[in-house]
Chain A
């Protein structure tokens, strides 16, 4: 069964800093990789996703994917207090299977 793990479990960064969150997965056949963000007391909401090796940038957020290393990451440039949330990574093998989620990284951005 696919195992999806995140690190660190929690993180405190100052406003304006670069934040890096990590996700590792166990199945080399995985094809879809996504990050979700969940603010306190709210539902998880998709942030961005990637299919191919490399990186993808959307505004202050960048995903890096290295399938050979079974690793992908989320980088947040110029972190803001509004970025404080639980970040969940998700992985699936193909369109015919469901996404499995990691245990989450709790991010706090302090002014």
Chain B
């Protein structure tokens, strides 16, 4: 089964702080995604990538940067964290995009105080 590992699992930061969330997948998937999950909004796509050096915007990209350094590693950067970015963040990967199963990591709980 596809393995997607996220770190850290929990993070607390202050408003205006910098945060980097890390994700590594070990299944040679081309596509990687960052989602946030909030009650009442479901899973919303922030950014995704189809290979090293590539970045595509999702549905809620404002306030987030992302970088795909290798096929395995995808990072989400919050350079000026705000309380509205308090959320549960999931990284995911898949072979393709729209019509293949998406495999999720265990999530990172981020709290911005």
Contacts and interface: CB of A to CB of B under 8 A. Distances in A.
Interface stretch (A14-22, A38-46, A64-72): A38-46
Contacts of A6: 42
Given A88-B43, A102-B42, A104-B42, A94 B59 contact: no
A56 interface: no
Interface in B86-113: 90, 96-107
A43 B59 contact: no
B94 to A, nearest CB: 9
Given A44-B104, A45-B104, A95 B42 contact: no
Interface in A1-34: 1, 4, 6, 31-32, 34
Interface residues of B, number: 25
A98 B58 contact: yes
Interface residues of A, number: 29
Interface of B: 4, 33, 35, 40-45, 48, 58-59, 90, 96-107
17 contacts: A4-B42, A42-B106, A43-B90, A44-B43, A44-B104, A51-B99, A90-B102, A92-B98, A92-B99, A94-B98, A95-B97, A95-B99, A96-B97, A96-B98, A97-B98, A98-B45, A99-B98
